[in-house]
Amino acid sequence: MLAPKPMGRMLIVASRDQAAPIINELYREHMFHIEDYVEQGQGGYEGFKIGTPLKGATEASAELIKVRAIENVFAIRGEDADAKQKLSAPEIQKKIEQDLPGIEKEIEGLTGARSKLDTKAKEYEQKIVELAPFKEIPLDLALLQGFKHFSVLAGYVPRDVTISVPHEIQVVKGKERSFVLVVVTENDRARAERELQEAQFQSVSIPAETGTATARTAYYTEQIASLKKEIEAINVKLAKIKESHADLLVACEEAFRARIEQTEAPLRFATTSKVFVAEGWVPADRIAALSAALDKVTGGRVFVSEQPVDPAHDNVPVEYNNPDFAKPAQLLMDVYSRPTYTEVDPTLVLSIMFPIFFGVIVGDVGYGLLMLALCIGLWKFMKGDEVHQFLKILRNASIMSIIFGLLFSEFLGFELPWAPIIYSRHLNIGVTEAGGHGAAIAQLLIISVWVGILYVTLGRALGMINHARQDHGDHRLKAVLASLGWITVMWGILIAIWSMFPIPLMPDLTGLPIVAVGLSVGMVLAIVFIVMGVIFIARDAVLEIIEIPTIISHVLSYTRLTAVGLSSVAIAMVVNYMSIGMFINPGMKSLSIVGIVMIIVGVLIFLLGHAFNLALGMLDGGLHSIRLHYVEFFTKFYKGGGRKYIPFGMKRKFTED
């Protein structure tokens, strides 16, 4: 908790003939993060080279490409598919050998035929386009070409055209341009063409067809229809294959992927002609188990040793170590940055406080229930691990919204049958009768400032821990004291304010006795705190002093918990007032046609307004809650930039080892 999983460094040495079983076992265990070997001549690795893939790598790659191509045809994706049953290794092997080639061949044949038919249909469509201008000409197209002494010119002109040579012309008037068919003698052709050119003539080639354009168009349309039918038949066949073999295809893909990853693993090891060396990271508590497993599969012909870990210099891969309920928040952590190995991991704080912040901001039973329903609805439609983690975050947030909604006594901006249990957020919007209790805005703001004070203090305290862990020598003490200095400056400012002004819900220090030069005990304490803090900060980095005002802005930034929440309440109440107070109630009084229209308009305003406010609430609630962590909390102690722990192997969905 609050720290990444402890890791151990493992060194595996064995002769090359043991590579296959060892890699297979490592892959199955799925916990060895391989440290890629790079040939840089590091000490102890003289004479080592990067390994070569095991047998079968090329074949597996070729097969994988084929299977993926088929999956593309069917638009299947392994990530989206549900595993109905897991195939065991011999089963899948048998199917790959017996069934897969047949399926591949069949699909190749079908898709080949389909693309041929497609090309033909396209060709015919092109012909129909070419025929279109001639539709109004009731002549056999064969009569328009093949003359010795005459030329037929066809094309579009934007305006009327006059030709000075003897000719015959047929004009089909169009909206913007007319289609003309001109017959001239071969001798006059050049002149006629020139004259046409001057009239911006766009030539159209005469299709080489026999029969009238209308008849040919009808013929081609018919042909296309029959081609489409054939394509449809092929599609039906493909769909049938997809239905019966989709499971097999995703399983095959997984099997090939696993095989490729295994056969190519030696590319990441250091090898000589006789032995190979694999280095990597394993969770510390699993090292013994993995060593034993490797010993077993090789019959003792492997040397495994645990290397010492230097957390400061080894770039240790980081795996989160959180209780189950906090796991979804890891997604939000990764968006910011994964913690480094030596750092405090704030996932737990985030996982608890993010939903609470969200709940405080939204704080409405109605919206909470709607979000929960949305969450449950999306759960079925959306696939994928990350999406589900995200939905879990949303679920927790909506549950907290419901809880705070009960406490604030809010339902879509209306009041529930009880008075608010904590402070009221009901604004006096649309309240006509006097005596509404109104919102306790000042108290709510002060409570959110308290949250800010505690958060900033916690952040700096964690900063002290981080500096103590990560820094060395002279700098270490200075850095730790600087973090402490930030805390004392903040509390010094607070004590000074409390000594000057009485503030509700905060300690009142105005009545403390005066000790010297008109300063009370509180003021003296405040000055000591601030001066001490400034000295601590300046000793670490003088320029940091100019950042001191951010203490105030960061603490006050937490007032958004109240402010954003109140703005969402205000929108909800305005929507209610507009729809019910201004449309539905007056409409109910006189149930004429106008009254009914008013009721309908009122209902529409109600639905649209609340949908809008729900969307806004989710965006606001989420963004502001996460931002209060990212900006005001994390910047005080958290750096991140850790390396992700990616164990060698995969989570098998469709196959078994």
Partner 1 sequence: MADVNMTLEMVQASQVGMKAIGAGLAVGLTGVGTGVAEMGIGAAAVGAIAENKDFFGLGLLFTVIPETIVIFGLVIALLLLF
What's the gap between Cα 355 and its chain centre?
20
CB 573 to partner 1: min, Å: 12
70 burial via Cβ count (<10 Å: 0-12, 13-18, 19+): buried
CB neighbourhood size of 447 (10 A):
19
CB of 570 to partner 1, least distance (A): 9
Sign of CA dihedral 331, 337, 340, 342: negative
Contact between 66 and 111 under an 8 Å Cβ cutoff? The reply is no
Rounded to whole angstroms, how far apart are CA atoms 595 and 587? 4
**DSSP β-bridge partners for residue 154:** 181
The amino acid present at 76, given as its one-letter code, is I
- Number of Cβ within 10 Å of residue 39's Cβ equals 10
Nearer to partner 1, 523 or 573 (CB): 573
DSSP letter (8 states) at residue 171: E
- Nearer to partner 1 among residue 382 and residue 631 (C-beta): 631
Counting contacts by CB under 8 A, is residue 495 touching partner 1?
no
- Residue 360 interacts with partner 1 (CB under 8 A): yes or no: no
Cβ proximity to partner 1, 158 vs 438, nearer residue: 438
Secondary structure tally for the chain: helices H, strands E: 17, 16
Nearer to partner 1, 556 or 600 (CB): 556
**262/613 with CB nearer partner 1:** 613
In the bound state with partner 1, the residue whose beta carbon lies nearer, of 279 and 632, is 632
DSSP state of 512: S
Which lies closer to partner 1 via its Cβ, residue 234 or residue 397? Answer: 397
* Near partner 1 in 326-355, by CB under 8 A: 334-337
CB of 444: closest distance to partner 1 in angstroms? 9
CB 340, min distance to partner 1, A: 15
Answer yes or no whether residue 505 interacts with partner 1 by CB under 8 A: no
Interatomic CA distance for residues 638 and 632, integer angstroms: 11
Least distance in Å: CB of 546 to partner 1? Answer: 17
Residue 151 forms beta bridges with which residues?
184
Q: Which of residues 427-466 bind partner 1 (CB under 8 A)?
A: 427-428, 438-439, 441-442, 445
C-beta atoms surrounding 118 within 10 Å:
13
Q: Is residue 185 part of the contact set for partner 1 (CB under 8 A)?
A: no
Alpha-carbon 9 to chain mean position: 33
Element of type H or E holding 453: helix 441-470
CB of 379 to partner 1, least distance (A): 24
Q: Which is nearer to partner 1, 150 or 630 (CB)?
A: 630
Which 592-631 positions form the footprint of partner 1 (CB under 8 A)?
623-624, 627, 630-631
Nearer to partner 1, 282 or 564 (CB): 564
Site for partner 1, residues 564 to 583, rule: CB under 8 A: 564, 566-567
Nearest approach in angstroms of CB 508 to partner 1 is 21
Q: Is 643 near partner 1 (CB under 8 A)?
A: no
Name the strand (E) or helix (H) holding 203. strand 202-203
560 makes contact with partner 1 (CB under 8 A) = yes
- Is residue 205 near partner 1 by the rule CB under 8 A? no
Smallest separation, CB 563 to partner 1 (Å) = 4
# residues contacting partner 1 (CB under 8 A): 26
Collapsing DSSP to helix, strand or coil, 272 comes out as: coil
CB of 502 to partner 1, least distance (A): 17
Residues 6 or more apart from 97 whose CB is under 8 A from it? none
- Of 133 and 339, which has the nearer Cβ to partner 1? 339
* Element spanning 179, H or E: strand 178-185
Nearest to 404 by CA among 446, 444, 368: 368
User: From the CB of residue 191, how many other CB atoms can be counted at a distance below 10 Å?
Assistant: 14
Contact between 219 and partner 1 by CB under 8 A: the answer reads: no
* Position 542 contacts partner 1 (CB under 8 A): no
Check if the beta carbon of residue 652 is closer than 8 Å to that of residue 254.
Answer: yes
Is 453 within 8 Å of 489 (Cβ atoms)? no
Per rule CB under 8 A, is residue 393 in the interface with partner 1? no
- Interacting residue ranges for partner 1, rule: CB under 8 A: 334-337, 427-428, 438-439, 441-442, 445, 553, 556-557, 559-560, 562-564, 566-567, 623-624, 627, 630-631
